[in-house]
Amino acid sequence: MSKPLIIGLTGSIGMGKSTVAAMFEEAGVPVFDADAEVRAMQGAGGELVPAIEAAFPGCTGPDGVDREALGAKVFGDRDQLARLEALVHPAVAAKREAFLELHRDSPAILFDIPLLFEKGGHTAVDVIVVVSAPAEIQRERVLRRPGMTEEKFAHILGLQTPDADKRARADHVIDTSGSLDETRCAVRALITKLGTDGGEKTS
């Protein structure tokens, strides 16, 4: 049996990636959510908690990793961030491989990965889908988030591949600036299209 078509979904902060991933899932495409896996591994009893406590003392408690305390340690410090990523990324990769094995008989699966380009994940997928919206809509969405500031937003953008570059490297772009129904229609149209021509990229 042929392997599933692996769709890599990414997009900058505030572009609607999680919403689009949920729409793929609603349509029957199995979705691997990298952020959700990280949250689970950092939660109470999570497998990353001991390693993070050892590397960043005082950043864990009964409920697992204190994300606010950990964020304060790595915010603006690329060395500390790299130290954290060295713990997190291999663990996520292992979960992703297990997910792929679990769904190896599916026609397609979707990897929801925020830093798809930044961490080289684009080399492991067959089709790249980027979610995008105008910068003013992105900014408005992000600054509505609890605890978000202009400084944090600018810092996060600095760590991410610019939206224009993502779009240039994408096989498909989903515009999320319209209504949810419009976005859902775009997702379903893309799923239909991938069902007929998505195999061009598989080996």
3 state SS for 125-151: CCEEEEEECCHHHHHHHHHCCCCCCHH
Q: Which two tokens stand for residue 93?
A: 């990769």
DSSP structural state of residue 12: -
Question: Is residue 120 a known part of a binding site?
Answer: no
Q: Are 192 and 31 in contact (CB under 8 A)?
A: no
3 state SS for 105-127: CCCEEEEECCCCCCCCHHHHCCE
Question: Is residue 16 a known part of a binding site?
Answer: yes
β 127-132/31-33 pair status: unpaired
Residue pointed to by tokens 């959700």: 36
Question: Is residue 18 a known part of a binding site?
Answer: yes
Question: Is residue 148 a known part of a binding site?
Answer: no
Q: Spell out the domains of the chain, with CATH numbers in brackets.
A: 1-30+107-203 (3.40.50.300), 44-102 (no CATH)
Q: Are 151 and 43 in contact (CB under 8 A)?
A: no
Give me the average pLDDT of each 10-residue run along the chain (203 residues): 88 94 96 94 95 95 93 88 92 93 94 86 92 95 94 90 94 96 96 66 37
**What does the radius of gyration of the chain's CA atoms come to, in whole angstroms?**
18
Q: Which of 194, 189, 178 is nearest to 15 (CA)?
A: 178
Q: Are 121 and 8 in contact (CB under 8 A)?
A: yes
Question: Is residue 2 a known part of a binding site?
Answer: no
- Residue 76 confidence (pLDDT): 81
Q: CA 66, CA 43: separation in Å to the nearest integer?
A: 9
Q: Which of 164, 7, 173, 18 is nearest to 96 (CA)?
A: 7
Q: Are 176 and 165 in contact (CB under 8 A)?
A: no
- Residue 1 confidence (pLDDT): 52
Question: Is residue 149 a known part of a binding site?
Answer: no
